[in-house]
Structure 1
Amino acid sequence: MKNIKYYILFTALLSMIACKKDFLDTEDVTSATEQNFYKTPNDAWKALVGVYDGLQRVWSGGIAFPVASTIMSDEAFGGTGNADGFGYQMLDEFDKLRSPSDQDLFGDSWSLYYKAIYRANMLLTHLDGIDWKGNTTLRNTYEAETRFIRAYCYFDMVRLWGNIPLITKPTTDNVPQANADSVYKLIAQDLKFAAANLPATSYPAQDPSTHGRVTKWAAESLMGRVFLYYTGYYSKPDVVGEISKAQALASLEDVINNGGFGLVDKFANLWPAASLNNYAGEDNKETVFAIKYTFTSDWNGNVDGNTWMVLYGIRIQSIYPYGMGWGGATVNPKLWNAFAPTDSRRTASIISFNDEKLNFTNIKDQREYTGYTIKKYTPMADEAGKSLAEKMGGVSFMISQYQDYVSIRYSDVLLMAAELGSAGAQSYFDDVRKRAYGADFVQTPVNEDNILNERRLEFAAEGIRYWDLLRQGINVASSAIAESVTVQNGGVNTTKTILASKIQETKGLAQIPYTQITLSNNVLKQNAGW
């Protein structure tokens, strides 16, 4: 079958909308064709802009990967409005019977990922037809950036959905699902190429105008994350023969020793809502890789904003300095309680309505209210309740949130290296904890259990915890996530139950959109439990 929904036309590929940073600023190319476009390095540059734009857009519809990761974990519940549908509860509880009509929860997400991959494949296919005038370094740099973005997208997708179509060239064919090993092999090869062909420019020496572009350090860091997840979830010694434990650790040590990164002095200063006037800023020394956003989205197809962050906002109410949103991903109280009172990350990561004396008056419209919500990624407002995104010129708080998603932080690199057995493991572990506890720091022995617990606290609500649980095994993950707890639906105490058996039945995977299965004439097969 031709023209499956998740592919895009070439002309759509070339309608590239500029992103926030200068390196992404370029004119639209609407009259180009595949035959006349890929001729010069400047053409390749414009196509590369389109690849980055594809990555920026992948979470502009459906359920964003960070949101899904947080809700599927033991960090947060689905939340949202008390009169809303139960799609987020279906996701949260791994139970399709919670909302049987929600058969396309990830429909837009699936399509947007494959659109991004199409853009990457289109550029990769045409690189050798471009007259580079002997500049093979530039050619390889563009290929490296593109292959990283393709690997990034596939890593999200293979974790979410397991067996997925593996597409490495532009096509409209009806491609069946590949086994996970084939996908991971491509991911590993793409990341290795990226790491080998991007310049080793340390963070302090980077041109600020290039912030947001893929670096050698981002590729090496993602190699470590891929190794830990794949070898854990699939119980394998290496990543399909492509990345060994020694290679993963060496990549992370290279980032530590040569990347020029460091920890921001105070944890709260990493997050706008937690620091206000002391925010360390975008692209600070701890940011290894971020997906860039800005406030210039509109209702006419310009998708530059962080459109998923509004889900985390307080339900239809601004309470300075927090802006309104949809009340999704209400934080599980056990996450708040997992932090020691002396751990500065607790109040930097989570909004506690009681502790901050916030007068939430809209509780009757809130589902699964717990008294806690996410602070790291929350919309912000001024003292009069005006959205900061709108004050900056955004057309609506719903689509104009501008906070970047920091996908890889330097503290993650330190903890991954410690987990993989670095000789500096105790020092790396201590560095992360010293910042968290300040004068109350007490050294804890570095071991796997302590590292994983530290990761839970360090990366709360950053889209990492769920995958850390799954890579310990489905039994460990289901045991951590399953519970019966009291929440408030519309202000009324209600028992919420998440069953371990549902998580085990699905193997922790998400629902493949049924529309895609139909469009494929049932070539695509649904995951177990969905």
Structure 2
Amino acid sequence: MKKIIYILALLLSVSSCKKGLLDTTPINQKGISDFYKTPDDAFQALVAAYSVLDWSGFGNITLTSEIASDNCFGGAGTGDANVRQWDRFESLTDHNTDAWTKYYTGIYRVNVLLQNIDKVDFGTNAALKTRYIAEAHFLRAYFYFDLVRMFGNVVLLTTPVEPGKYSQPQANPDDVYKLIATDLKSAATDLAATPYASIPAAEYGRATKWAAESLLGRVFLYYTGYYTKTDLVGQVSRQDAIKLIDDVINNSGHALVPKYANLFRASGGTDFAGQNNVEGVFNIQYTYLGLKDFNQQNGNRWQVLIGIRGQVLLPYYKGWGFATVNPKLWNAFAADDPRRANSIISISGENLTSQYVLGDQSQYTGYFCKKYTPLNTGKPEDMGGDFQIDNYDNYVAIRFADVLLMGAELNLFSNLSVAQNYYNKVRDRAFQDANHHKILTSDATGLQLIMDERRFELALEGQRYWDLLRQGLTVAKQAIDNTGMGTDFNVTFRAETKGLLEIPQTQISLSAGSLKQNPGY
């Protein structure tokens, strides 16, 4: 076994999932020296990097961060204590191995592609090479941003690690963020400004100029907030970030779906807007076509984890009861805010109490995640799949409403009218009228309104924890600490961890001392 698990021997074990971007022929253990010759070789290597986005339920940052936030408890079964460590900021050996392995595998695959792409004969199609390189830069930035947010002190790799050099030191987070910024700037520059309506359906899920600009805006806001800086490591100023986000809003062709309920299958029903609708700026693609093959990792494996534990309560299908929703989130919504019932399953509110069986559900609150929850109609078994691994709803990693709220936040102190306009668009869509405006001001009060709106608009989509951290550890602790619901629901955010997760202990042991554990663990 190599010193660090993220250094994997196999680059190109690509699984075909027959869905848009990932509809490609699998490659099995083909040697690099025999591989990088044709544009199709380069494309398949790029697909190998994209495919890592699908990996693992336990390694999914959305699940982990929702449980770590004030939105959810760990939940799951009474014997599933390994879930609640995220909720309670407790140590558990190798708790985050899935995430660590996932991201470094993706980074490795990108680095191998970038190292070898000059060997490919693109003929006269230089633009295709430029596109593949830009998409690879986007993916590396995406992987590293999740990794550095989760662990803070990570290893920075821009080339494949050579044999015998597996023990690598942790980098200063600033150096990681500089790579993220430069990768995203490169991607945003080199990817074509193709409006959403002109993107072929077969290319849904691929990085676009708009996805790169949006992610760069997200990185800017997180880095400058969490580290209390004025710019993104000298690479992106606030004015730069404003231009990037304004460009997405004004020129991408992305827009809000007319009704909030239609964003997700569980709330939209027959009016669901579709898996790759106009609001999705960057969507991670999933499919049921693994068809019970546990070696494939193309299904949405975290989707089943949040389903109602062990029972079918129509229209919902069974799951494992992870991330039970904190009543604080339900109660925080205005009573007339339609997003509440479209985001959260209320057992009593949907008249399911008489049917619901508690069983071995831990930390039962009466509320479950509705967004992305499995549904009985169109369940994997109906299509020959397995309910544990073959759920197929795409994850909207960057949604246009999020971009609007980033735009409102970025413009708040320099162009209040623009900020107000972006903010109003989100609330008008949510309430289906223009009677619920709140007046923004260029101060902390106005900023708080935007942060509150992010809480409601993006509830249970994986953004809340990071929004809390970038407001400061004091704000995060005030929100996340939980008492008064019984000892099983007591949560204490430990500021000494700085909100970072525990680096897997096995990785520290294998690193021969080059990896140091984060504070608090």
TM-score w.r.t. the length of structure 2 is 0.95
Pairwise CA distance, 1:24: 2.4
8 Å contact from structure 1 (residues 305, 399) kept in 2: yes
The reply on whether 1:349 has 2:348 as its aligned counterpart is no
1:211-250 alignment, distance < 5 Å: 211-250=204-243
Map of 1:168 onto structure 2? 158
**What CA deviation, in whole Å up to 9, does each residue of 1:397-436 have, x standing for no partner?**
0101101110000011111011001551111101100111
Where has structure 1 moved over 3 Å in runs of 4 or more? none
| CA distance in 2: counterparts of 1:146 and 1:185, whole angstroms | 16
User: CA 1:441/1:250 → structure 2, altered by over 3 Å: closer, same or farther?
Assistant: same
Answer yes or no: is the 8 Å Cα contact 1:54–1:119 preserved in 2. Answer: no
Alignment of 1:92-171 (within 5 A): 92-96=87-91, 102-171=92-161
Task: Provide closer, same or farther for how the CA distance between residues 270 and 20 of structure 1 changes in structure 2, counting only shifts above 3 A.
Answer: farther
Contact conserved, 2:374 with 2:391, CA < 8 A, in 1? Answer: yes
The one of 397, 401, 404 equivalent to 1:411 is 401
In structure 1, stretches of 5+ residues that fail to align are: 97-101, 488-493
In structure 2, relative to structure 1, the CA distance for the partners of 1:232 and 1:261 (3 Å cut) is same
Distance 2:226 2:476 in 1: 11
Match of 1:523 among 484, 508, 514: 514
From 53, 56, 59, the counterpart of 1:55 = 53
> Contact 2:214 / 2:244 at 8 angstroms: preserved in 1?
yes
Gaps of 5+ in 2: 441-445
> Any idea what the Cα deviations from partners look like across 1:200-226, whole Å, max 9, x if unmatched?
000111111111111000000001000
Residue 61 of structure 1 deviates from its aligned partner by 5.0
Aligned residue among 295, 301, 304 for 2:298: 304
Deviation digits for residues 117-165 of structure 1, max 9, x if unmatched? Answer: 1110000011222222132211110001011011001000100000101
Aligned pairs (5 A) from 1:177-192: 177-192=170-185
CA distance in 2, matches of 1:2, 1:373: 41
Kindly indicate whether residue 190 of structure 2 is the aligned counterpart of residue 200 of structure 1: no
User: Which of the residues 264, 270, 279 maps onto 2:272?
Assistant: 279
Number of residue pairs the alignment of both structures matches: 507
Distance 1:517 1:348, change over 3 A: same
**What letter is aligned with 2:247?**
D
Q: Which amino acid aligns with 1:40?
A: T
Per the alignment, do residues 61 and 322 of structure 1 end up closer, same or farther by CA in structure 2, a change over 3 Å counting?
A: closer
Q: Which of 366, 369, 377 is the matching residue for 1:374?
A: 369
Give the aligned partner of residue 481 of structure 1.
480
1:88 aligns to 2:79 (yes or no): no
What SS class does the counterpart of residue 453 from structure 1 fall into?
A: helix
Q: Counterpart in 1 of 2:63?
A: 67
For residue 484 of structure 1, give the secondary structure of its aligned residue in structure 2: coil
The residue correspondences of 1:497-516 to structure 2 (distance < 5 A) are 497-500=490-493, 502=494, 504-516=495-507
Separation in 2 of the partners of 1:314 and 1:56?
22
Question: How far 1:111 sits from its partner (Å)?
Answer: 0.9
Q: Which stretch has the larger CA shift, 130-139 or 286-295?
A: 130-139
Displacement after TM superposition at 1:392 (Å): 2.1
Determine the C-alpha separation between the residues in 1 that align with 2:252 and 2:342: 26
**Separation in structure 2 between the aligned mates of residue 316 and residue 472 of structure 1, nearest angstrom:** 37
Does the CA contact (< 8 Å) of 2:369 and 2:460 recur in 1?
A: yes
Identity level (%): 49
1:76 aligns with 2:41: no
Q: Which residue of 2 aligns with 1:270?
A: 263
2:324 to 330, 335, 351: 330
Structure 2 residue matching 1:483: 3-state secondary structure = coil
C-alpha distance after superposition, 1:41-97 (max 9, x if no partner): 12111111111112222xx15331000110000000001112x1322222101133x
Cα pair 1:199 1:216 within 8 Å, conserved: yes
Alignment root-mean-square deviation, CA: 1.5
Shift of 1:20: 3.9
Partner of 1:17: 15
Q: How does 1:365-514 map to 2 (within 5 A)?
A: 365-382=360-377, 388-394=379-385, 396-421=386-411, 422=415, 423-439=417-433, 441-446=435-440, 447-486=446-485, 494-500=487-493, 502=494, 504-514=495-505
Deviation sequence 1:340-367 (CA, Å, 0-9, x none): 1211100000000001011354314111
- TM-score, normalisation: structure 1: 0.93
Shift of 1:496: 2.3
